[in-house]
Amino acid sequence: MKIICVRCKTFLGEQEPFDNLAEIKAKCSACITKDKEVASRFTPKPKPGQKQEVTLDNGLKGFLWVAQDKKDKLFIGELAVSGKKFHCSKYRRQEFQNHLGSLTGEDFEITLLHSITCKLDSLPKGRKKKQDPPKTEKPKKDDSIQYNCTFRAPRHYIQLVFDDMAVRMDKVTEILAEAAFKTYKEEQQKAAPKGDLSPMSGSKEADIPIP
């Protein structure tokens, strides 16, 4: 029997019975070293159901955990305090403040989205043939893993975290809204025949000059 490296297909040796041509799968030392190297590039992360203690930049101790249930998953720009989720924005500030105010005690659990890891499909090898029919996308299983970070902090600190995130999220919203409006205006201009009054021309929006 032949001993073959599953990774690089290197022939590693033979083993009895010699007349059996079946392959024994193994891994050569070079491939083992390479695998270890790849694995070491990733910091260990907790498995579902486990918690991993971390020290945050601010010195507070918290823990990482895998958010599996829908109720635990956070969107970018969201945080959860004592189990209630909030999207950080100046429009939700009052509601958030009320929630914080309704809690008894001095410090509370705050949960933030820490990171998301997802598997990337390896690209098909070789050139794509033009005559190949377009592949129908199979609905993919969600392979991504969401890590949350939970720590305890005093009320005023949690409010600061919310405000800081709100400023950043509102900025992003502004940029996206601006871009969407610009595209909309461009589409309107293309659609409107020359010399004709577009239905928008009497409205306030149409009076804003396009840069």
The binding site for Zn ion (CB under 5 A) comprises 5, 7-8, 10, 28, 31
- Give whichever of 13 and 154 is closer to Zn ion, judged by the CB atom: 13
CB 111 within 8 A of CB 67: no
- Give whichever of 38 and 208 is closer to Zn ion, judged by the CB atom: 38
36 by DSSP, 3-state: which? helix
The minimum distance between CB 115 and Zn ion, in angstroms, equals 31
Helices (H) and strands (E) in the chain, counts: 3, 9
The minimum distance between CB 8 and Zn ion, in angstroms, equals 3
- Give whichever of 1 and 60 is closer to Zn ion, judged by the CB atom: 1
Question: How far apart are alpha carbons 86 and 126 in whole angstroms?
Answer: 47
The minimum distance between CB 108 and Zn ion, in angstroms, equals 52
CB 14 within 8 A of CB 6: no
Alpha carbon of residue 183 to chain centroid: 27
The minimum distance between CB 142 and Zn ion, in angstroms, equals 32
- Give whichever of 34 and 185 is closer to Zn ion, judged by the CB atom: 34
Question: How far apart are alpha carbons 154 and 175 in whole angstroms?
Answer: 32
